[in-house]
Amino acid sequence: MTRPHIEFIHAQDLDWQAAVLHGPLADVECKVLSMDEETGACSVILRYPEGWVQNGPLHLDGAHEFLVLDGAVEISGQSYPFDSYAYLPAGYAHENWTTKTGAVVLTFFSARPDITPGPGNMTEAAVPYLYLHEMKWSSADVDPDLDHLRIAHKILREDEDSGAKTMILDCGAQSHPQNWEDGALAHPCVEEMFLLSGDIITERGAMHAGAYFWRPPNIWHGPFGSRNGNLCVIRFLHGHHVNNWSEEKFPFSLTPGHKPDLPDSLKEAADKPFSAPTPY
Ligand SMILES: [Fe+2]
């Protein structure tokens, strides 16, 4: 169960592809952010065409976790407009799965998303629906060593046994470590991120809205900061999230070079910095 270290790419640099997924999902174009070739688990942006319909009941063998970026989808009578989220575990009965308008949906499948008719066996709790605008921001339990980022979060899902956690993070503008230097960070779990807006500046380069990384456990990262603040989706997987800091301090720069860590298959797509739109 592995995916390569991808840190980082911008979704805008990837092509929409058809027939990446199987069965009825082959009709849904997607951008593959990362994929475990062995299990088929993948993080993708799905672009559902207008009027796409899958009549249920049906289920997937893996979890179906998603955040709607644009448009709306409907599953089992629940409408999911943009900025809504769900975690539908393996076996969750999708009574119907449709979109009238079409939709763009950031989607995480924990196994190859083959569709099986009928309901399945569910062994995890579902998060059937969250509308992000109705959730309160919190700064509880944020590592005080990250105070300079002025982090607020919304926890979308947390499994205390496995450590899996999904959250929305909001970080402040014009933020940088004190004295422009800081330790590096590592976690004993996978960290995955999709940047919804703003920028994150790290030692590997500047990420802008649309940036994505999949960082395997125990990989050093940071220091970080931001010019314009940022809003991102973070997932911690395959272990519990712990912040381990290096003793050594590293300089922080607002103008780092572009030094992503990428598998060969993505090097061409992300070989140069992304040109973010400017307000002028
Ligand atoms: Fe991290």
| Rounded distance from Cα 51 to ligand 1 centre (Å) | 39
Omega before 108 within 30 of 0, i.e. cis: no
Contact 111, 40 (CB under 8 A): yes
Taking residues 92-113, what's their average pLDDT? 96
CA torsion through residues 236, 202, 198, 145, sign: positive
| Rounded distance from Cα 193 to ligand 1 centre (Å) | 9
Residue 1, pLDDT above cutoff 60: no
| Rounded distance from Cα 92 to ligand 1 centre (Å) | 31
CATH-assigned architecture of domain 14-132: Sandwich (2.60)
pLDDT at 34: 98
User: Could you give the CA distance from residue 209 to residue 113 in angstroms, rounded to a whole number?
Assistant: 27
Contact 160, 147 (CB under 8 A): no
| Rounded distance from Cα 244 to ligand 1 centre (Å) | 9
Compute CA 134 distance to the chain's CA centroid, rounded to the nearest angstrom: 20
| Rounded distance from Cα 191 to ligand 1 centre (Å) | 6
- Percentage with pLDDT > 90 across the chain: 92
| Rounded distance from Cα 187 to ligand 1 centre (Å) | 7
pLDDT at 33: 98
**Tokens 């590096």 — which residue?**
184
User: Could you give the CA distance from residue 205 to residue 152 in angstroms, rounded to a whole number?
Assistant: 23
Residue 103, pLDDT above cutoff 60: yes
| Rounded distance from Cα 276 to ligand 1 centre (Å) | 23
Report the relative pairing of strands 64-75 and 84-88 from DSSP bridges: antiparallel
Split at pLDDT 50, 70, 90, the class of 172 is: very high
- In DSSP notation, 208-232 reads ETTEEEEE-TT--B---BBSS-EEE
**Tokens 């960290």 — which residue?**
191
Taking residues 132-156, what's their average pLDDT? 96
Which residue would you say has higher pLDDT here, 277 or 231?
231
Going through the chain in order, the beta strands assigned E by DSSP cover 6-10, 29-35, 42-48, 53-60, 64-75, 78-81, 84-88, 94-98, 103-109, 115-117, 127-131, 152-158, 165-171, 181-186, 190-202, 205-208, 211-215, 230-237, 244-251
User: Could you give the CA distance from residue 5 to residue 133 in angstroms, rounded to a whole number?
Assistant: 32
| Rounded distance from Cα 60 to ligand 1 centre (Å) | 30
Taking residues 144-172, what's their average pLDDT? 96
CATH among 1.10.246.90, 1.10.3470.10, 2.60.120.10, 2.40.110.10 for 144-267? 2.60.120.10
| Rounded distance from Cα 26 to ligand 1 centre (Å) | 33
Neighbours of ion ligand 1 (CB under 5 A): 191
Longest pairwise C-alpha distance within the chain: 59
* Same fold for the pair 14-132 and 144-267: yes
User: Could you give the CA distance from residue 76 to residue 129 in angstroms, rounded to a whole number?
Assistant: 11
Confidence (pTM): 0.97
User: Could you give the CA distance from residue 84 to residue 172 in angstroms, rounded to a whole number?
Assistant: 23
| Backbone phi and psi for residue 90, each to the nearest 5 degrees, phi listed first | -50, 135
| Rounded distance from Cα 142 to ligand 1 centre (Å) | 12
The residues spanned by each domain of the chain are: 14-132, 144-267
